[in-house]
Amino acid sequence: MSDHEKIMQVPVGPQHPALKEPESFMVDLRGEKIDAVRMRFGYNHRGIEKGCEQRSFTQDLYLVERICGICSYAHSTAFVQAVEEIAGLEIPRRALYIRTIVAELERIHSHLLWLGVAGHEIGFDTLLMYTWRDREQVMILLAQLTGNRVNYGLNTIGGVRRDITAEQIPSILKVVDLLEERTKYYIELAQTEETLRQRLANVGVLTREDALSLGAVGPTARASGVDRDTRRDDPYGAYGEVSFKVVTAQSCDVFGRTVVRLGELLEAYAIIRQLVKNIPDGPVLVKAPRRIPAGEAVSRYEAPRGEDVHYVRGNGTEKPERVKVRAPTLANSQAVAKMLEDGYLADLPIVIAAIDPCFSCTDRMIAVKGNGESRAMTWDEVSRYGVQFYKARGIDFSRVRLREGPAA
Amino acid sequence: MSATETVKADLEARFPALAGGAIRASRERRLWIETSREIFADVFRHLVKDLGFTNLCTITGLDEGADLGFIYHLAADNGVMANVKVRCPKGQSIRTVTELFPGAAIYEREVEDLLGAQVDGLGPGPRYPLPDDWPQGEHPLLKDWKQKKPADETAAAKGDTPRE
């Protein structure tokens, strides 16, 4: 048997080249090509479902928001929708509009983050720098609207805890306009930059049949021609009152997943404009009972990575009887082994990254002094610190004209 | 007749055992179907193959005293969700649905690990989500499960590691 016919086992993970989260992929290699992949998950299992049974519904709302550091609002909203359905609460329309605006802003920051990660995984770090610079605009906007860059703490049972003021509307539209222009540039890039297309086309192929049988969701499924989107199929929030297209692609590869996410960004801008224009006046909250009646509900939510499903059962007390969460990455992880089969080992990081598995980016910067005292830096201080850090090393950013964003 | 009511009427006509309250529509696009173990496989197959419920969102496992409960959350492309419930006495086994949904394996392994369910016909594979050295017979989502203190009360077992 010659060397290239031998099967070599390569363990990838749990500490992983493409992810900040631990997952284990045992790869059987034949030469440079992947023969089979065996996956092992669960390294990050934190017992949140059990934890929910031991806490009140309101406490759980904040706990489930911490399932994910990127689509935290997805989990919070999916959970609160289920609880509100059990309690029979009629949520004010203005609150539903605010939830939907924040949901789409979250999708924008998540997709821009992914675009940067994808660029990084294929050695196109300029794209990472560009998209993450742009993403900062939506992060600052989210912090203005909700008080936080992630884990917004905006939802409460019965509505939202903060209203969007008339003064905040122009800054939302300003960010949407800016990012739309940038996204159009990235779409042009994807259409004309030959190296990008060649690097991503026919990589990580998942046929439509496999996407369906393995239960893939979100942009991963839509890039394989599966026309499913919970926002349209099973509308929640204010999605029933806006018009938008479900973006799909037929190429079934990583390039298609890129095209779908870029298209979804444009749709998100259009959705936000409609919501901001038509947002009704009125209260943003109805009073909710402390004890949630006995009953059960299942809530579906189109998170940036795909459908997020929460099942909640109440038993008439302040604590739920059962909370079950199915995050989109678990659904998509089943398809990854299929995508990797018969591909090159060198494609493994981008193929895994292309389902956009979750990891947390929630850190705020803390300046730690030598004597153990610490204090938080303001955003202005952080950006000044960054400019000076590079200036001291001979890189001067002061001549770079930064595009104006919303006031931080 | 709405899409939800059509599914309900179809099931009640085809499976007499489901007529008379076993199917409940909690709201538009949400059906809850209580089946017995005897007819579960037929109801499930009929929903998937004939009524267009081609998406298995997940499987929820429940500790219901002497029984384990399972809810199969099926969705159709028109947004209707059929939540099919079946109960099984603890210690007995349910049949896998991986013939219809190969991707369901991870959900079935999850109920095996967290609730001690036994799933017949589920192929070999790594456990999920508990660690490989997790003690046998410990299923954290059972209502009477209590976290046990590690026998070894060393600094490492308590989560403290000495600073270098």
Confirm or reject contact between A356 and chain B (CB < 8 A): no
SS3 A249: coil
Q: What angle do CA A125, A131, A135 make, to 5 degrees?
A: 140
pLDDT confidence of A385, banded at 50, 70, 90?
confident
Nearest CA in chain B to A296: B26
Same domain as A169, residue A273: yes
pLDDT score, position A369: 45
SS3 B78: coil
Confirm or reject contact between A248 and chain B (CB < 8 A): no
Tally of structural domains, chain A? 2
Chain B residues in contact with A333 by the CB 8 A cut-off are 106
pLDDT tens per residue across span B120-154: 999 888 888 888 889 889 999 999 998 776 666 55
Mutate to test the interface with B, among A39, A227, A234 (most CBs of B within 10 A): A234
CA–CA distance, A76 with B65 (Å, rounded to integer): 29
**CB contact (8 A) between residue B29 and residue A41:** no
Residue B71 is nearest to which of A213, A311, A333, comparing CB atoms?
Answer: A311
Domain ranges of chain B: 3-92
- For residues A256 and A207, the answer to whether their CB atoms sit within 8 Å is no
Statement: residue A129 has pLDDT above 80: yes
SS3 A344: strand
CA–CA distance, B91 with B117 (Å, rounded to integer): 7
pLDDT tens per residue across span A18-35: 666 788 888 999 888 999
The percentage of chain B sitting over the pLDDT mark of 70, rounded to a whole number, equals 90
pLDDT score, position A394: 81
Q: What is the mean pLDDT of residues A292-296?
A: 96
pLDDT confidence of A343, banded at 50, 70, 90?
very high
Same domain as A376, residue A329: no
pLDDT score, position A242: 97
User: What is the separation, in whole angstroms, between the first and last Cα of chain A?
Assistant: 64
User: What is the separation, in whole angstroms, between the first and last Cα of chain B?
Assistant: 71
Confirm or reject contact between B73 and chain A (CB < 8 A): yes
Question: Strands B93-95 and B118-120: what pairing?
Answer: parallel
Q: Among A35-44, A118-127, A388-397, where is mean pLDDT lowest?
A: A388-397
Statement: residue A301 has pLDDT above 60: yes
Helix, strand, coil percentages in chain B from 3-state DSSP, rounded to 5? 25, 25, 50
pLDDT score, position A366: 41
pLDDT score, position A376: 63
More confident position, A349 or B48: B48
Structure tokens at A170: 């122009």
How close A208 gets to chain B, by Cα (Å)? 13
More confident position, B131 or A378: B131
Statement: residue B161 has pLDDT above 60: no
CATH, domain B3-92, list 3.30.460.80, 3.30.565.10, 3.40.50.10490, 3.90.550.10? 3.30.460.80
- CA atoms within 13 A of residue B37's CA, in its CB half-sphere: 12
Q: What is the CATH number of the domain that holds A127?
A: 1.10.645.10
Q: What Å distances lie between residue B117 and A298, B88, B93, B122, B147, CA to CA? A: 22, 9, 7, 12, 19
**CB contact (8 A) between residue A298 and residue B103:** no
pLDDT confidence of B158, banded at 50, 70, 90?
low
Question: Strands A24-30 and A33-40: what pairing?
Answer: antiparallel
What sign for the dihedral angle of Cα B76, B103, A25, A255?
negative
Q: Which residue from B137, B128, B132 is spatially nearest to B105, judged by alpha carbons?
A: B128
Q: What is the mean pLDDT of residues A251-268?
A: 96
Q: Among A289-303, A322-336, A365-379, B3-17, where is mean pLDDT lowest?
A: A365-379
pLDDT score, position A408: 41
What sign for the dihedral angle of Cα A310, A316, A318, A320?
negative
Q: Among A44-58, A75-89, A92-106, where is mean pLDDT lowest?
A: A44-58
How close B56 gets to chain A, by Cα (Å)? 7
Same domain as A252, residue A111: yes
Q: What is the mean pLDDT of residues A114-119?
A: 92
pLDDT tens per residue across span B39-89: 999 999 999 999 999 999 999 999 999 999 999 999 999 999 999 999 999
**CB contact (8 A) between residue A213 and residue B105:** no
CA–CA distance, A351 with B5 (Å, rounded to integer): 42
Q: What angle do CA A75, A171, A147 make, to 5 degrees?
A: 40
Q: Which residue type occupies B26? A: S
Structure tokens at B108: 């079935």
pLDDT confidence of A407, banded at 50, 70, 90?
very low
Same domain as A276, residue A393: no
pLDDT score, position A389: 81
Statement: residue A85 has pLDDT above 70: yes
Q: Look at residue A359 and tell me if it is in a domain.
A: no
Q: What is the mean pLDDT of residues A377-401?
A: 74
- CA atoms within 13 A of residue A26's CA, in its CB half-sphere: 8
- CA atoms within 13 A of residue A147's CA, in its CB half-sphere: 8
Same domain as A404, residue A301: no
Statement: residue B99 has pLDDT above 60: yes
Query: Cβ contacts of residue B65 below 8 Å, gap of 6+?
Result: none
SS3 A333: helix
Confirm or reject contact between B75 and chain A (CB < 8 A): yes
Residue B130 is nearest to which of A42, A233, A331, comparing CB atoms?
Answer: A42
CA–CA distance, B27 with A297 (Å, rounded to integer): 10
Confirm or reject contact between A49 and chain B (CB < 8 A): yes
Strands (E), A249-305: 295-303
pLDDT tens per residue across span B12-43: 999 999 998 999 999 999 999 999 999 999 99
Mean pLDDT of chain A: 89
Q: What is the mean pLDDT of residues A391-395?
A: 81
CB pairs below 8 Å between A and B: how many? 87
Q: Look at residue A128 and tell me if it is in a domain.
A: yes
**CB contact (8 A) between residue A228 and residue B71:** no
Q: What Å distances lie between residue A170 and A166, A239, B108, CA to CA? A: 8, 22, 49
Q: What is the mean pLDDT of residues A278-292?
A: 95
Question: Strands A374-376 and A366-368: what pairing?
Answer: antiparallel
Same domain as A396, residue A330: no
Strands laid side by side in the A320-326 sheet = A295-303, A306-314, A320-326
Confirm or reject contact between B85 and chain A (CB < 8 A): no
Q: A residues 196-215 near B, CB within 8 Å?
A: 212-215
Q: How many secondary structure helices (H) and strands (E) does chain A include?
A: 14, 10
- Out of A312, A334, A356, pick the residue that ends a domain: A334
- For residues A344 and A202, the answer to whether their CB atoms sit within 8 Å is no
Range of the domain at A168: 48-334
Element (H, E) at B84: strand B81-89
Same domain as A289, residue A398: no
Statement: residue A306 has pLDDT above 70: yes
Q: Look at residue A204 and tell me if it is in a domain.
A: yes
pLDDT tens per residue across span A199-229: 999 999 999 999 999 999 999 999 999 999 9
Confirm or reject contact between B105 and chain A (CB < 8 A): yes
Same domain as A382, residue A258: no
CA–CA distance, A273 with A142 (Å, rounded to integer): 16
pLDDT score, position A360: 32
Q: Look at residue A18 and tell me if it is in a domain.
A: no
Same domain as A94, residue A217: yes
Q: Look at residue A345 and tell me if it is in a domain.
A: no
Beta bridge partners of A308: A301
Q: Look at residue A352 and tell me if it is in a domain.
A: no
Mutate to test the interface with B, among A24, A91, A220, A326 (most CBs of B within 10 A): A326
- Out of A314, A334, A354, pick the residue that ends a domain: A334
